[in-house]
Structure 1
Amino acid sequence: MDPRENSSRYLDLELNDEYKYPEYGSRPGHDDYFTNREFLLQYSNTKSSKTYQNYEDITVKRYIGSGVAFVSLITDNLLSHPFLILRRQCQVNHASVRYHLLPFTLVPTVCHLHQHQGLTTLWKGLGSALLVRGMTLGIEDLISKLTPWPKEISWHSSLKQFCQHTMLKCVSLAIVTPFYSASFVETVQSEIASEKPGILDVFREGFIRLLNWGAPAKGRMLPIWALIVPTVALGITRYLFSMMVRGATFRILQCTMSKDATNAAAVQERNLTASLTATIASDVVFYPCETVVHRLYLQGTRTIIDNLDSGRSVLAILTNYSGVMDCYNSCLSQEGTSGLYKGFGALILQYAAHVALIKLSRFVLSEIGSLLEKPKSIPPPPVDNSPPAISNIANPPKSYLLP
């Protein structure tokens, strides 16, 4: 066996002793040969197409992924609120002429709103919306601590855990429904025709709806139990659909991306892409159901909204739906199928801005990360001092058979 192939077995042997191992004895250039051979292998690896990342590069990429995820979270909770208001005002206006199915028709309307009501008109109800989201998370956490129901599940969870997690989501949605409907009213009512609500008015209105369980508190307002059933059904169906789309998208990305992208930064990027894809898919698929439920929230509240046909006037919403199916059938008969998709252009604008902001933040953070990375110096190609395979090739032996 060649000692060079497994040098660990010959560490205690004096290979340079020409009396014991004459074939591996010290020769001119012998040590340089083995050193340069290893150097040549390292140099060829650095010049190959396969790149090896060090710890600093992986850390920088992880920070970039965390920054992009933070920007996505801020966009989802804050910067998407104006588009959410436009979408909801279009959905609840059953008498509108312009449906705003494309985002281009909303541009002049938004300009007219800013001219007549100022820049804050599309940020109304933001405080109550954030309070309701925080309340939802708090209720889910409290229920998970008081019961054995898990707050989060994975693909490795059992069927029992899945059912318990679904029950937790249903209970939390049912508890939050009165406060969510009160917050919804604050996001669609016009500021120039209504009193500006206080910070904690969403809890007061929610408790009023919750206490009037069987009988409506005002006129045509539906009882709270008539709102809880469609809200829970829509919320849990949308959540399960989003979870399936997210899992399928993550698996597809995991199969299509390179096998070397197994670090934390690559996994974080796949999770962000899968979550955004699931959110967009669920909003698009359940948009008609959302329109019906939002109209039921606003019935009987005597809310005055902005008229998005022109953006210069306001109008009162007066409906008399008896339930979900009555609202659905009335929308189809009076407004057509496209009536269920009123304000869909605002949804397109919302996610176009969301994706553009994520791309921009990733580009900016990547440029900052490239400035923080240490410059990599490529070693010069070493000189191969290997002995020639055939010696004295310049002076071949003479043949005495030739004259």
Structure 2
Amino acid sequence: MAGISDYQDQGLDDDDYDDFDNSQRLHSSYQYNYPIENFNNYYQTSSRGELTLNLQKTPTASSFKSYQQTNFYDSPESEEVSLRRYLSHSISLVSLITENIISHPFIVLRRQSQVYQNSKHYHIHPARLFPVVCHLYARQGISALFKGLGSSLLVRGSLLAIEDVIDKITQWPKEINSRTTMKQFGQHLILKSISLGIVLPFYSASLVETVQSDIASEKPGLLDVFREGSSRWLAWSVPAKGRMLPVWALLPSGVCIGLSKYLFGVIIKGISTRILSRHYQNKEEKQGARSKDLSTINNEVELASNIISLITSEILFYPFETVLHRIQLQGTRTIIDNLDTGTQVVPILTSYEGAFDCYVTTIQSEGFGGLYKGFGALMLQFAAHLAVIKLSKWVFNQITEICSEKAPTKVTEFYNLEPTSISQQHGSTVSRSLSYVSSLNDEP
């Protein structure tokens, strides 16, 4: 077994000795002591003096232990891929927060426009909403745009909790994928229908808190949504207040609209996922390189498909949502802000017999545009959502570029590549030793 001494016997010049000397002084100054025996165990020279790597074919317990104790470092590419993966998940989290919290003011505006049957302005174009928002903010403050946020989050959380409980009791799948069988798909639809039916009265109570005016009504408590929803469940056959529709009259329309909207969103998400995946694949084939980090691409495809599914389903089912909100609010004696002026309040007084009667009456008295009242708020909601996603991507891309310009942390620690230490202590020694290490790697 040959070692460094064989190199010395073969007549190395002074520069080579200097390189070896610098390498030893570099390691000794930073307490990296590698004995000659370890070097001999891994390298050997052939008869022609070529340096070859001696690898063990079968790993032993001692070699595995020494492998664990060796200070390896990650490549810059792996650290950049990990950073991009982390930032991709962060963008998904930002999208979730935007959908549930930042979009709530636009939901308040659109629901107030939907339920007011005698309004003069339909607010189909978003430009008409700006003066109304200014008047509301001047009279009631920013809280007028975030009313009912707590109850909305509680209802959404309750829906997820109910689905999880039913899934554990019945073993029906609460999520579907490409490997789901027809039987499992049917069980999944039953689970969704039951969950929507249970949550529907609480959703109606949350709707009241979202649209009622703060200056004409008492502010509800955090858990009042459960109290009001439970009271609507108890009033199964006889309405509790005036012309309030019973639960059995709301369940068919509410479950059908909610389930149809969900199925449509699943179909659109599946189609958009396939199209976007094919687009990314064709883009990589044109560039001549395939990405090593598939999880980042999958996250981007999933984020884009979710946004496309959300936008298309909300636009298509907007008229049905208007009808559902009106029959749910009937008989609750709710007073809302008048969005024609933004400075007055008006009561909601309707006498619909059901969902179909509400649809026909709206078409006759308000025209087809009456079903799209407040559509401008929906346009502003999606514009704000996309703007937040674009801004988040830009910020995260800037962070990625800044971090990718620096050397990886473990590489810096291994070679001690701090600017001050290189310039002040061992500038020439480090550079010559590193050049020697790279020259060893380049040799055949």
Both structures adopt the same fold (TM-score exceeding 0.5): yes
- Quote the offset at 1:371 in angstroms: 1.3
Residue identity matched to 1:278? S
Q: CA deviation at 1:107?
A: 0.2
**CA separation in 1, counterparts of 2:355 and 2:157?**
28
Question: 1:141 & 1:240 partners in 2: Cα distance?
Answer: 19
Task: Could you tell me which runs of 5 or more consecutive residues in structure 1 were left unpaired when the two chains were aligned.
Answer: 1-11, 18-25, 32-51, 383-403
Q: 1:313 aligns with which of 328, 344, 354?
A: 344
Q: What is the letter of the counterpart of residue 189 of structure 1?
A: Q
Q: How does 1:149-164 map to 2 (within 5 A)?
A: 149-164=172-187
Cα pair 2:147 2:209 within 8 Å, conserved: yes
More displaced, 363-372 or 350-359? 363-372
2:248 is the counterpart of 1:217: no
Counterpart of 2:404 in structure 1: which amino acid? Answer: E
CA distance in 2, matches of 1:274, 1:119: 32
1:71 paired residue number: 94
SS in 1 for 2:152: helix
- The sequence identity of aligned pairs, in percent, is 51
Q: CA shift at 1:58, angstroms? A: 1.1
Contact 2:111 / 2:374 at 8 angstroms: preserved in 1? Answer: yes
Name the aligned partner's letter for residue 78 of structure 1: I
Deviations 1:300-358 (A, max 9, x none): 00100000001000000100000111000001011111110000000000010000001
Structure 2 gaps, min length 5:
1-43, 52-74, 285-289, 409-434, 440-444
Match of 1:94, SS state, is coil
Would the alpha carbon gap of residues 191 and 249 (structure 1) be closer, same or farther in structure 2, given more than 3 Å must change?
Answer: same
Q: Offset at 1:376?
A: 7.7
Higher helix share: 2
Q: Please say if residues 132 and 176 of structure 1, whose CA atoms lie closer than 8 Å, have aligned partners that are also in contact.
A: yes
Matching of residue 236 in structure 1 with residue 259 in structure 2 = yes
Contact 1:58 1:263 (C-alpha < 8 Å) held by counterparts? no
Please report how far the alpha carbon of residue 95 of structure 1 lies from its aligned counterpart in structure 2 after TM superposition: 0.2
Structure 1 stretches of 4+ with a deviation exceeding 6 A read none
Structure 1 distance, partners of 2:165, 2:405, is 47
The 3-state SS of whatever aligns with 1:54 is: helix
Provide the residue aligned with 1:246 in structure 2: 269
Quote the residue 1:167 is aligned against: 190
Counterpart position of 2:135:
112
Show CA shifts across 1:131-177 (max 9, x none): 11111111000000000211111022100010000100000000001
The answer as to whether partners of 1:112 and 1:312 remain within 8 angstroms in 2 is yes
Shift of 1:92: 0.3
Q: Which residue of 1 aligns with 2:157?
A: 134
**Residue 255 (structure 1) aligned to one of 262, 265, 278:** 278
Shift of 1:118: 1.2
C-alpha contact 2:125 2:375 (8 A) present in aligned 1: yes
- Using the alignment, how far apart are the partners of 2:327 and 2:172 within structure 1? 31
Tell me what 2:325 maps to.
294
Per the TM alignment, residue 375 of structure 1 is displaced from its structure 2 partner at its CA by: 4.5
Any idea what the Cα deviations from partners look like across 1:208-259, whole Å, max 9, x if unmatched?
0001111111110000111111110011100010001011101000111134
2:123 maps to 100
Q: Is this contact kept in 1: 2:76–2:404, CA < 8 A?
A: no
Aligned to 2:389: 358
Q: Which TM-score applies when normalising by structure 1?
A: 0.80
Equivalence for 1:333: 364
Q: Corresponding residue for 2:17?
A: none
Tell me if structure 1 keeps the 8 A contact 2:112–2:337: yes
- 2:419 aligned partner: none
Please say if 1:200 is aligned against 2:231: no
Q: Deviations over 1:163-219 (max 9, x none)?
A: 000100000000001111001100000000011111111111111000111111111
- What's 2:33 paired with? none
TM-score (norm 2): 0.73
Q: How many residues align?
A: 337
Secondary structure of 2:85's partner? helix
Matches within 5 A, 1:3-42: none
Matched residue, 1:281: 312
Which residue in the other structure is 1:266 paired with?
Answer: 297
Q: CA deviation at 1:54?
A: 2.0
